[in-house]
Amino acid sequence: QKEVEQDPGPLSVPEGAIVSLNCTYSNSAFQYFMWYRQYSRKGPELLMYTYSSGNKEDGRFTAQVDKSSKYISLFIRDSQPSDSATYLCAMASTGANNLFFGTGTRLTVIP
Amino acid sequence: DTGVSQNPRHKITKRGQNVTFRCDPISEHNRLYWYRQTLGQGPEFLTYFQNEAQLEKSRLLSDRFSAERPKGSFSTLEIQRTEQGDSAMYLCASSPPGTGVGGYTFGSGTRLTVV
């Protein structure tokens, strides 16, 4: 079993829709949770960074962490065609220097 | 330029040849990381430098792989006797002191194709 599981999609939604992306994990030592966006032929770009459980909002993006269920989510409101990309969840333990990534979910927002 | 720079962007090599990639981190970043990303997968950690010291290596970093950061600035990743399974995107990231895993900035990667 991989430490981080993520549905690879692909996911297609109409412009303006609310998008929900999710990851589950097995390592209870993970304390840091991140969402990255990756455009084709580019490196990942950090979108959201959360420590431990709870919610964090930044503009149209909301990240949620439920450590009791080992489940994290990213919500995108009012999705735009420019949001079309692969979204990667990533996690790390306290004191760690490396990230564990999910496989990524490819999202397409249709105008 | 304020980003992480990686060169070359794309490398095609024949099986058995050696290849070397370069990463120039953001100037004030003392931490540097190498990851490998295969098609349809997320990045996987290879190795980590703090200044010039290589502090952590993944099991993925076989003895054919070697990474250096000789003066604590740019880094090189060399793969000897390349195999088709080495075909992947090699990503470099850097982070400033005190930010830990939340401070990564990734480069655009070097895509390696072994034929």
Q: How much is the pLDDT for A87?
A: 98
Q: CB-based contact (8 Å) between A2 and chain B?
A: no
Q: Does A42 touch chain B (CB under 8 A)?
A: yes
- The rounded distance, in Å, linking the Cα atoms of B3 and A37 is 16
Reading chain B (115 residues) residue by residue, the pLDDT tens digits are 579 999 999 999 999 999 999 999 999 899 999 999 999 999 999 999 999 999 999 998 899 999 999 988 999 999 999 999 999 999 999 999 888 788 899 999 999 999 9
Which residues of chain B does A98 touch, with a Cβ-Cβ cutoff of 8 Å?
33, 45, 48, 56, 58, 101
Q: Nearest-CA distance from A97 to chain B in Å?
A: 6
For residue B67, give both structure tokens. Answer: 């990474």
Contact state of B33 with A104 under an 8 Å Cβ cutoff: no
pLDDT digits (tens, 9 = 90+) for A49-98: 998 888 999 999 999 999 999 999 999 999 999 999 999 999 999 888 89
Using the Cα atoms of residue B91, residue B97, residue B100 and residue B103 in order, give the sign of their dihedral: negative
- A4–chain B Cβ distance below 8 A for any pair: yes
Contacts of B91 in chain A (CB under 8 A): 43-44
Q: What is the dihedral of CA A74, B60, B76, B91, to 10 degrees?
A: -20
pLDDT, tens only, A13-26: 999 999 999 999 99
